[in-house]
Amino acid sequence: MTAETKKKNFAGELLEWLDSIVISAIAVVLLFTFVFKIVGIVGESMTNTLMEGDKVLVYSYNYTPKVGDIVVISRNASNIYEDESSEHDRIIKRVIATEGQTVDINDSGLVSVNGVEIADTYVRDYAKTFKKDVQFPHVVKDGCVFVLGDNRLNSLDSRSSGIGDVDIRYILGKAICRILPFSEFKLL
C-alpha cells in the first residue's frame, strides 16, 4: 500500500466519522427540541417523589395527559390561554382528573374522582388543613386537567384559583424519569 493510498483511506475514514458525528448531533438537537426536554425541579410540591434540584426528562411529542401522570406545565399567572401578557412559570404536578371528571376533597384531605377515592400512595402528607378557594365537588372544565402536588401540605395546585383547572395547551409534557442526581435515577 502506497503512502498516497493510505492518505486517501485516512481521508475517507475521517469523512465518514465527521458525517456520523454531524448526523448524530442533528438527531440529538431535533430530539431535544421536539420530543424531549430536561426540566429542573424547583420547590417542594412534589416531595418525596421529586426533590428540589432534581432533573427530569419530559416527553412532549403528541402527548395527551392521563390521570396519574406527572406533568410539567408552562402557564401564565392568570392561567388563561389567551392572556399572553403575564409572566410564564413552569410548575410540575400530578394529574388527578381530566375534563368532565368530578373531583372531591374531604376535610381529611382524601381525594375522590367520580365518587371513587384515589389510591394516592405517593402522597407525602394529606392536607388536613389547607387553604382552598375552589369549591368541591368540582367538575373539571373541558380542555383542562386538575392537578395536585404530592406534598399536599406545601403545594400551590388546582385547589387554588391561582392555578385552578390547567388548560392542556400549557402542558409541556409528561415527566418520564428522574435523570439527576444519577444515584436517584428512576422511572416515574
Q: Could you tell me which residue, 21 or 2, shows the higher pLDDT? A: 21
- Backbone φ and ψ for 140, nearest 5 degrees, come out as -70, 130
Chain segment 118-142, per-residue pLDDT in tens: 987 877 666 555 667 888 999 999 9
Q: Tell me: do 130 and 177 sit in the same domain.
A: yes
Q: What is the pLDDT of residue 85?
A: 44
In a shared domain, residues 61 and 29: no
Please determine, for residue 176, whether its predicted confidence score (pLDDT) is greater than 90. yes
pLDDT, tens digit (0-9, with 9 covering 90-100), for 61-112: 889 999 999 999 986 545 554 545 444 568 899 999 999 999 998 877 889 9
- Cβ-defined contacts of 124-133 (< 8 Å, 24+): 124/47, 124/48, 124/150, 124/151, 124/152, 124/153, 125/151, 125/152, 125/153, 126/152, 127/152, 127/153, 127/159, 130/159, 131/160, 132/105, 132/159, 132/160, 133/159, 133/160, 133/161
Q: Return the CATH number at 51.
A: 2.10.109.10
Number of domains in the chain: 2
d(CA 121, CA 175): 18
20 and 88 in a common domain: no
> Do 8 and 59 reside in the same domain of the chain?
no
- 29: Cβ–Cβ under 8 A, 6 or more apart, which residues? none
- Which neighbouring-strand residues pair with 57? 38, 177
Query: Given a cut of 60, is residue 52 above it in pLDDT?
Result: yes
- For residues 63 and 4, membership in a common domain is answered with no
Average pLDDT of every residue of the chain: 83
Task: Specify whether 82 is located in the same domain as 109.
Answer: yes
CA distance 107 to 96: 18
Residue 19 shares a structural domain with residue 57: no
User: Is 141 in the same domain as 117?
Assistant: yes
* Same-domain check for residues 179 and 133: yes
Domain that holds residue 8: 1-34
Mean pLDDT of 33-46: 84
Write down the pTM of the prediction: 0.79
